[in-house]
């Protein structure tokens, strides 16, 4: 099995070596950037799956319980959920139930929410830089390759120009552009998907948090009702 694996890897390694020999240092840099981009993509996929960003079925039951006056039921629906939305909503609901000042509850919930959003956006800037610079580096390699090819033609003399030399120099020069695009296209696609996922998370978080503050606060509503009853009794006594 090891012999078969080694025999299968040899053409791949030979092709990679030929690519590096023909493309030069620019291709080597682009290959290093592709490895870094792949590592970022895998890291972000693992992060998004671990946090359960796609699991949002708990939001509606929690908000329904909250608006119905069942604070315990709302917190129970949020308990054990890996999605950061659950933690932010639990902080807001807990603060409201403890009758803390609303501005303090909002500040704390916003602070935690911003922290989670920044965590989700981590390394996306680096992926954007790779997606932007890869085609430019490829174009730079092409320009340098074309300059080298024409310098060789000039050195060969007007009567000794070999079309094969010119065509060989041109395809080697264009190789860096192809590699640059091959790195940039999937990196750009992955970046767009991740940014869209973060925006969806942010929208759901803002919507759910707003509904918590505009909904009925169970303990606060009960306390207000008890206060009204006490006031009526005091008025009747007088």
- For the stretch 129-165, pLDDT in tens is 999 999 999 999 888 888 877 777 766 665 565 666 5
Lowest mean pLDDT of 13-22, 87-96, 198-207, 208-217, name the range.
13-22
In sequence order, which residues have a C-beta less than 8 Å from that of residue 84 and are 6 or more positions away?
51, 113, 116, 201, 205
Is residue 112 exposed (0-12), middle (13-18) or buried (19+ Cβ within 10 Å)? Answer: middle
pLDDT category of residue 223 using cuts at 50, 70 and 90 = very low
Asked whether residue 232 is assigned to any structural domain, the reply reads no
- The answer to whether position 1 is within a domain reads no
- 199 belongs to a structural domain: yes
22 falls within a domain = no
Residue-wise pLDDT for 79-89, tens only, equals 999 999 999 99
- Whether the Cβ atoms of residue 59 and residue 205 lie closer than 8 Å to each other: no
Within-domain flag for 98: yes
Distance between CA atoms of 57 and 196, rounded to whole angstroms? 19
Q: Residue 5: inside a domain, yes or no?
A: no
Structural domain span for residue 36: 27-216
* 125 inside domain: yes
Rounded to 5°, the CA angle 75-81-87 comes to: 60
pLDDT tens sequence across 47-56: 999 999 989 9
Domain membership flag for residue 4: no
Q: Domains in the chain: how many in total?
A: 1
């Amino acid at each position: 099995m090891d012999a078969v694996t080694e025999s299968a890897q040899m053409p791949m390694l030979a092709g990679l070596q030929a690519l590096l020999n023909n493309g030069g240092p620019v291709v080597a840099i682009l290959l290093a950037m592709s490895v870094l981009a792949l590592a970022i993509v895998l890291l972000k996929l693992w992060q998004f799956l671990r946090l359960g960003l796609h699991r949002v079925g708990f939001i509606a039951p929690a908000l329904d319980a909250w608006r119905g006056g069942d604070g315990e039921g709302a917190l129970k629906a949020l308990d054990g959920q890996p999605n950061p939305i659950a933690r932010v909503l639990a902080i807001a609901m807990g603060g409201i139930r403890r009758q803390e000042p609303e501005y303090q509850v909002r500040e704390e919930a916003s602070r935690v929410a911003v922290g989670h959003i920044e965590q989700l956006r981590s390394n996306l800037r680096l992926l954007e830089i790779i997606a932007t610079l890869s085609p430019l580096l490829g174009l730079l390699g092409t320009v340098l390759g074309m300059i080298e090819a024409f310098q060789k033609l000039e050195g060969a003399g007007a009567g000794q120009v070999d079309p094969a030399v010119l065509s060989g120099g041109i395809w080697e020069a264009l190789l860096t552009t192809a590699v640059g695009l091959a790195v940039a296209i999937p990196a750009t696609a992955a970046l767009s998907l991740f940014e869209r996922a973060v925006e969806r998370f942010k929208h759901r978080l803002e919507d759910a948090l707003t509904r918590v503050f505009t909904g009925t606060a169970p303990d606060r509503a009960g306390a207000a009702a008890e206060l009204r009853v006490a006031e009526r009794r005091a008025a009747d006594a007088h």
